[in-house]
Amino acid sequence: MPTINNYRGLIPAIACPFTPDFKIDEPALRKHAAWLATQPGVVAVMTNGHTGEVFSLVPEERAEVTRIVASELEGKLPVISSIVCEGVKDAKVHAKMARDAGAKGLDVMPPHHWLRFGFRPGHVFDYFDAIAEVELDLIAHVYPAWTRASYSTKTMGELAKLPYLQAFKVGQRDMNKYAADIKAIREADPTKAILTCHDEYLLASMVQGVDGALVGFATFIPSLINDLWEAVKAGDLKRAVKVQALITPLKDAVYGGGEPTGEAHARMKMGMYLAGVLDAPTVRPPTEAPSDEEVAQLRAAVANAGLLKR
């Protein structure tokens, strides 16, 4: 039985505020989570994604972030925690910690040694089966097609048949494979939710027949992204293009015309600060704060969207 009722809509991957000495800023994190819960179209919040600077957090801190957000959102929204591990044993430990911290679902990133060495198909199912022992919904986090950690279209269809896997966070960055994978999932089990995580080209990926978006960008501009999603659902292309025109300068300022990176997340935090979403744009080393030129571009984009507060 699913542990989250609804994956269809907008799921922000939440940023993690830090204090000046790089500790988790609990009051700021609670404030931001509470704000996200008021935003239209938001059906859940995800902790410990790339946007949350997960690679700078030790395991206990990842559980702490989930505990804080789940505590703040109790009775309002379910919380999903990403599992970012290298092997089956530590993934099981992280999954239990996330569950005990209040997570209702787990976003399963591929082990990062797969990025270099690749994997056999059986590795994927062994990994998911082990994490599923904690009896929470799992979400498959799909990496870009150009990486060695990318799942084949056949594997995507087989994953869709797993009873505990309820959704896919799809980020192939290859529209041919994206379309083929969506088709394979729908044919295997049309009840499974498919969520774009193409922060840098939302409109193009939303019109492919998905069920919403699970993106870090939504920790910054959830209302604009929901406006875009509502226009797509209504089949109102003219309205969707207008909303995307506001998003595009923000996207360019944050992502620099490329895919999400650590420095992109630093730019996102600065944009959030300029828009009054966060009270400080602090990132953890080795991620670097944006340059003056990047801040100026962010300020112009935030102003263009009518969101500038600082």
For each of the domains in the chain, give its residue range(s) and CATH number, in order of start: 9-236 (3.20.20.70)
What are the mean pLDDT values of the chain's consecutive 10-residue runs (310 residues total)? 96 98 98 98 98 96 98 98 96 98 98 94 96 98 96 98 98 97 98 97 97 98 98 98 98 88 92 98 94 97 97
- With contact defined as beta carbons under 8 Å apart, do 45 and 74 qualify? no
83 DSSP β-pair partners: 108
* Nearest residue to 224 via CA among 208, 204, 202, 209: 202
What does the H/E/C string look like for 223-284? Answer: HHHHHHHHHHHHCCHHHHHHHHHHHHHHHHHHHCCCCCCHHHHHHHHHHHHHCCCCCCCCCC
pLDDT of the residue at 1: 82
Sequence-ordered alpha helix ranges (H) in 119-221: 121-131, 153-160, 175-188, 202-206
pLDDT of the residue at 272: 98
Whether the predicted model's global pTM rises above the 0.95 cut: yes
In this structure, what token pair is assigned to residue 300? 């112009």
